[in-house]
Homo-oligomer: A and B are copies of this chain.
Amino acid sequence: MPSPRVQPFTFSVGPVTASPEALVALSAPIGYDYDPVYLDTYERTLAKVGELFQSAGDIVLMQGEALLGLEAAARGLVRPGTEVLNLVNGTYARLYGELLRALGARVHEIDAPDDDAIDPADVARALEQHAGIEVVAVVHCDSTAACNPIAEIGPLARSHGAVTIVDAVPTLGGMELKVDEWQLDVCVSAAHKCIGATPGLALMTVSDAAWARIEANPAAPRRSYLSLLDWRAAWFGQRRFPHTTACSLVLSLEAACDAVLREGLDASIARHALAARAARAGFRAAGLEIWARDGVQANTITAVRMPDGVTDESLRARMRGAYGVVMHRTPDSRQFRIGHMGMTASSLYPLVAVGAAVQSLSDLGVDVDVGAATAAVLAELAAADQAEAVGRSGA
């Protein structure tokens, strides 16, 4: 059935299917970025991003992929010899450790199995043992879709006097994330994930404590594309930009934020949770195994243990070729992964994702129960609506 001309369904872990609001806003004409109308737009957009982060602190939109923001945070906070606690339960954290070491940091790592979360007790212990730790780096939800309890880790770090760098790339807008309440210092996300805009902007919060450390760090980039301080001096100092801003992406980001805020951040998060729950129910009913253990699973990505005899390539080729459904390349051959972000965390998108994956596995010779899988997705959604209706009538 799929045709080269017809838009496939996309369940990547980013870039996601952009929301109509974000796409439409991209085609608006742009003007000079120092025109007062644009400056106002920019300021408004920062405020809206702050609402999503639940932070009253400074918001920086670095102009590039999320990795730009994560690298800028590391370079801003680390100089040779800085002691960093890096919490590792997945690929992204592991790679971040490499970056930190390359910058000369003395990195302490806590490793958890990649289907489980970091235990805050381990963090507390490590901070106690290593009084010199200045920075704690943690990924909210790593590649295996196991989430870490950053609500507890943030306060631990702060009470220790360390600042946190939080990779919240795939969670902002899709999972609970309270930057100020959880005492997170530098939190990095992206426009092209749960918010539903398109790639090109790294969204960051920077706390006063983080600014102070970066300012004090002689190794922090200055007059560089990687410099947070350039943004601080330019925007917060003089309402200027260190370089021309990506106007179209900013207009689109505002529209995407508006859409989430109109829906309500809590409603958006609940929607992502339900989509993930439905997908997990479907995969389990098919006879498959969810990678991360219960209680630590992300709402925005579902990672499933890959059945024997199937490769990521063969599965993706079948899903795309026979059903017009695109799945993210896996970085880990033991799994396949489905994104539930923005649009695809709504309506019957989980049915499409589960249906395509399970039927394709069946086509490839795996013994899975397609009907049970799809029925389970629908039953989960039906039950959720029922529960909500009961909630409404009971109120």
User: Which residues of A are interface residues toward B (Cβ below 8 A)?
Assistant: 1-10, 12, 14-15, 17-20, 23-37, 63-68, 71-72, 98-99, 102, 190, 192, 198-200, 223-226, 242-249, 252, 259-260, 262-263, 267-268, 271, 274-275, 278, 320-329, 343, 346-348, 351-352, 355-356, 359, 362-363, 370-372, 374-375, 378-379, 381-382, 384-385
9 closest A-B pairs by CB: A324-B347, A371-B371, A371-B375, A374-B374, A27-B27, A12-B32, A5-B263, A26-B26, A200-B246
Residues of B within 8 A of A17 (CB): 29-31
A279 to chain B, nearest CB (A): 12
Given A34-B329, A374-B355: A1 touches B385 (CB 8 Å cut-off): yes
Residues of B within 8 A of A329 (CB): 34
Contact B1 A346 (CB under 8 A): yes
Question: How many copies of the polypeptide does the oligomer hold?
Answer: 4
Other-chain contact of A378, B259, B262, B359 (Cβ < 8 Å): B359
Residue of B nearest to A37 (CB): B4
Taken together as a complex, chains A and B put the C-alpha atoms of A23 and B27 apart, in Å, by: 5
Contact B5 A32 (CB under 8 A): no
5 extra A-B contacts, CB within 8 A, seeds A12-B34, A23-B26, A351-B355: A17-B30, A17-B31, A65-B244, A246-B249, A355-B355
Residues of B within 8 A of A23 (CB): 26-29, 248
Taken together as a complex, chains A and B put the C-alpha atoms of A30 and B26 apart, in Å, by: 12
Residues of B within 8 A of A242 (CB): 67
Residue of B nearest to A274 (CB): B1
A317 to chain B, nearest CB (A): 10
A375 to chain B, nearest CB (A): 4
Other-chain contact of A322, B30, B190, B363, B385 (Cβ < 8 Å): B385
Given A248-B199, A346-B3: A33 touches B8 (CB 8 Å cut-off): no
Residues of B within 8 A of A351 (CB): 348, 351-352, 355, 374
Other-chain contact of A385, B25, B321, B352 (Cβ < 8 Å): B321
A365 to chain B, nearest CB (A): 12
Contact A322 B35 (CB under 8 A): no
Contact B32 A328 (CB under 8 A): yes
Contact B31 A326 (CB under 8 A): yes
Contact A3 B271 (CB under 8 A): yes
Given A27-B27, A64-B225, A199-B245: A4 touches B378 (CB 8 Å cut-off): no
Given A99-B223, A323-B347: A248 touches B374 (CB 8 Å cut-off): no
Residues of B within 8 A of A63 (CB): 64-65, 199-200
A242 to chain B, nearest CB (A): 8
Residues of B within 8 A of A268 (CB): 3
Contact B347 A8 (CB under 8 A): yes
Contact B65 A225 (CB under 8 A): yes
Taken together as a complex, chains A and B put the C-alpha atoms of A328 and B244 apart, in Å, by: 12
Contact B10 A31 (CB under 8 A): yes
Contact B343 A6 (CB under 8 A): yes
A214 to chain B, nearest CB (A): 17
Taken together as a complex, chains A and B put the C-alpha atoms of A371 and B282 apart, in Å, by: 11
Contact B347 A363 (CB under 8 A): no
Contact B198 A98 (CB under 8 A): no
Contact B381 A1 (CB under 8 A): yes
Taken together as a complex, chains A and B put the C-alpha atoms of A356 and B348 apart, in Å, by: 8
Taken together as a complex, chains A and B put the C-alpha atoms of A17 and B33 apart, in Å, by: 11
A269 to chain B, nearest CB (A): 11
